[in-house]
Amino acid sequence: MNEEAGRETFRPFLFSFVMAAPEAAIHRARVCGRKRVVGAPTRARWMAGSSPAMTRGVHLRPLEKRVAVSYVGVICRSAATRFGFLILGCLIWRLLSGFVTGECASSCSCCTSDFDSRFGAAVMPILHNMQTSGNCYKVRLVAHQLGIPLTLKEYGANAGDTRKAPFLAKNPNGRVPLLEFEDGRVIAESNAIIWYLSEGTKLQPEAKWDRGLALQWMFFEQYSHEPYVAVMRRLLSYAPKEELEAKRDRLPELTQRGEAALGVMQTHLAKHDWFAGGRYSVADIALYAYTHCAGEGGFDLKKYPAVQAWIGRFEKQPGYIPL
Ligand SMILES: N[C@@H](CCC(=O)N[C@@H](CS)C(=O)NCC(=O)O)C(=O)O
């Protein structure tokens, strides 16, 4: 344990003893204050069970016996009180330190140290967002399903603002989505963002193998799916005419590669309901983003019935929002 961690552990103990001290003092005063206070050596002999004859002339009168019994009671009660305060101290400290750092004391899956609805808009992360982008939609959907509030900063699909200096200062790669925290930290790449946001939640598989498979499909999405399915969609449905004309000769290859990716999904989904861990996860979200709207890129989803069935299951998930 490092020095800082040691101090952190010690603090609740200190806190509880400070809280317990007045309580113990009150007990002491109640028992001993009215009558004569019995000296420490005498108390020690009483507690060791000495008989009056063995106490060198100190006679335990009935009152003193009652005081002795009562004193043992005080010690026990004081110990119990201290223990109670210790527990209380730990709880209060945990709560207060969580409050200061923004951490959720109960380690719930709905928030992390970076975003906590208890603090309202002041610490909402900013999602640099493009409304028509499937990559940005992944982040909005994950945040929505996990109850993470976001402030959206909008960029037009063809405005070019992500290539200008103010945005490039935040993400030199000039692309959205970009998630920005109040302390200035930023994280880019849609699948990295949704992996980060969903850490420790129901949206990520728990078993090591299943987590590996989830990442396998998320990398597949970025390397073998999105560059074809999403690019076709942009060219056919959102890009200015000049951009489409400039890239027209690439369309057959993009289409063929996109079909290949959809074929891989069809093969998997013919045997499985979900992509990893036997349940809905961020891997499904990563792949759903551009698959469900692949028609806008000229792909015919009727050729992939298992993919269509998976899209149906996906859209029935609690907290689903459309692109
Ligand atoms: N691999 C990135 C791709 C990001 C990307 O291509 N973003 C597009 C919108 S979907 C963008 O920012 N386009 C504006 C530009 O390139 O100038 C991710 O998954 O986040």
130 lines ligand 1 (CB under 6 A): yes
| % of the chain at pLDDT higher than 90 | 62
**For ligand 1, atom 1, which residue shows the shortest CA distance?**
189
Q: What pLDDT is attached to residue 138?
A: 98
Report the range of poorest mean pLDDT among 9-23, 58-72, 256-270: 9-23
Residue 201: both structure tokens together: 């939640």
Kindly report the protein residue whose alpha carbon is nearest to atom 13 of ligand 1.
175
Take residue 320 and report the two structure tokens written for it: 């689903």
Does this model's pTM top 0.75? no
| Pocket residue to mutate for ligand 1, from 158, 161, 175, most atoms within 8 A of Cβ | 175
Range 279-282, long-range pairs (CB < 8 A, 24+ positions)? 279/205, 280/203, 280/313, 280/314, 280/317, 281/203, 281/204, 281/205, 281/214, 282/142, 282/191, 282/194, 282/195, 282/198, 282/203, 282/204, 282/214, 282/218
**Structural domains of the chain ordered from first start:** 3-101 (no CATH), 117-198 (3.40.30.10), 208-314 (1.20.1050.10)
147 vs 31 pLDDT, higher one: 147
227 lines ligand 1 (CB under 6 A): no
In contact, 311 and 288? CB cutoff 8 Å: yes
Distance CA 115, CA 119 (A): 8
Nearest-atom index, ligand 1, CA of 173: 16
pLDDT greater at residue 188 or residue 4: 188
Residue nearest to atom 12 of ligand 1 (CA): 175
As a whole number, mean pLDDT of residues 271-298 equals 98
- 135 CB within 6 A, ligand 1: yes
pLDDT at res. 273: 98
Expressed in angstroms and rounded, the spacing between residue 56 Cα and the centre of ligand 1 is 91
Q: Look at the block and give the residue holding tokens 């990520």.
A: 204
Token pair, residue 4, equals 């800082």
CA of 21 to the centre of ligand 1 (A): 61
* Spacing, Cα 229 to ligand 1 middle (Å): 13
What is the SS3 assignment for 34? Answer: coil
